[in-house]
């Protein structure tokens, strides 16, 4: 990934992590044991990559993070 792309991803991540819903579970990979959600991977088949060669991989991972959160958690619930 080019430096300009890395800078763009870094800036985007900073904005996302400052959002009031961007707490713990969105800052690290989901650990079903620690979070006491043993059925998580029954619902979520694709995990995020966390390392990217191209900017579109970062964008895809951000989208996947939100998609997984909405797929696993009921509407209007606090994500786990």
What is the structure's pLDDT at 23? Answer: 63
Domain assignment present for residue 10? The answer is yes
| Single pTM value for the model | 0.72
The predicted pLDDT at position 79 comes to 61
Beta-carbon contacts of 29 under 8 Å, excluding residues fewer than 6 positions away, are 47, 48, 50
Domain carrying residue 14: 3-72
What integer is the mean pLDDT of 46-73?
A: 85
pLDDT in tens, 5-55: 989 988 988 888 888 776 666 677 888 999 899 999 998 988 877 778 888
**Buried b / exposed e along 11-32 (16+ C-beta atoms within 10 A):** eeeeeeeeeeeeeebeeeebee
Judge whether 22 and 16 are in contact, CB under 8 Å. Answer: yes
Tell me how many domains the chain contains.
Answer: 1
The DSSP code sequence of 53-67 is SSHHHHHHHHHHHHH
State the CATH number of the domain containing residue 43. Answer: 1.20.920.10
């Amino acid at each position: 990934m080019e430096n300009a792309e890395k800078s763009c991803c870094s800036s985007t991540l900073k904005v996302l992590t400052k959002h009031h819903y961007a707490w713990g579970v969105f800052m690290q990979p989901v650990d079903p044991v620690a979070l006491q959600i043993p059925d998580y991977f029954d619902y979520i088949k694709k995990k995020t990559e966390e390392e990217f060669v191209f900017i579109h991989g970062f964008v895809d991972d951000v989208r996947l993070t939100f998609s997984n959160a909405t797929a696993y958690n009921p509407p209007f619930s606090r994500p786990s």
